[in-house]
Chain A
């Protein structure tokens, strides 16, 4: 079985501050890991994907995530928050091989204060 836990349903930062959104996963096989963003009243957009090629994954809009196997974590970071980053962020895990089931975390709402 696979699962995702996102720590903190709501994170608030000031504009220009570091963004850190936490994600821990559980998977019985080496996983694929994803981060998605959902802007208000919109669908989802893929931010980045981890596939074991590199532990540090760079995504769109200046976001990156680091895979740490020992900690079973895949935290999302951005050095400097922008007002336009305000959205809900979802971490997701998919088992490798022929397992295409995708399991999401419950999401973290990011607010950015001026």
Chain B
């Protein structure tokens, strides 16, 4: 079954304690990305990756890091989380060919930073 998985699904942490949210896809997609969703602000892209070792900033990259060492994995790292990073996070992967695009989103990770 084609899917994007995220772990953990729920996380409560404290300010300054480093954390990693994992994202994995089983479709061999080249493009992966991370988003955060906040009430009234919609979704905002944090980082994206066009392929292994190729990443770039989205609209809100501050306070986040990513890496793409393998095609299937795209972890999101919060080196020193702060309360304003409390949010719902989605990972996604996609494939585009001949104008057609297939996108899959993960189930989301709800993060609370105290």
Known: A44-B92, A101-B56. A53 touches B99 (CB 8 A): yes
B90 interfacial by beta-carbon distance below 8 Å: yes
Of residues 56 through 106 on chain B, the ones whose CB sits less than 8 Å from some CB of chain A are 56-59, 90, 92, 99-103, 105-106
B29 interfacial by beta-carbon distance below 8 Å: no
Of residues 80 through 109 on chain A, the ones whose CB sits less than 8 Å from some CB of chain B are 90, 92, 100-107
| B106 partner residues in chain A, CB cutoff 8 A | 43
* Chain B contact patch, size range: 20 to 34
Of residues 25 through 44 on chain B, the ones whose CB sits less than 8 Å from some CB of chain A are 31, 33, 35, 40-44
Interchain Cβ contacts within 8 Å, total number: 50
Interface of chain B, main secondary structure: strand
User: Complex formed: what's the CA distance from A65 to B106 in Å?
Assistant: 25
Closest to B48 in A: A100
| B103 partner residues in chain A, CB cutoff 8 A | 46
- Which residues of chain B have a CB within 8 Å of any CB of chain A? 31, 33, 35, 40-45, 48, 50, 56-59, 90, 92, 99-103, 105-108
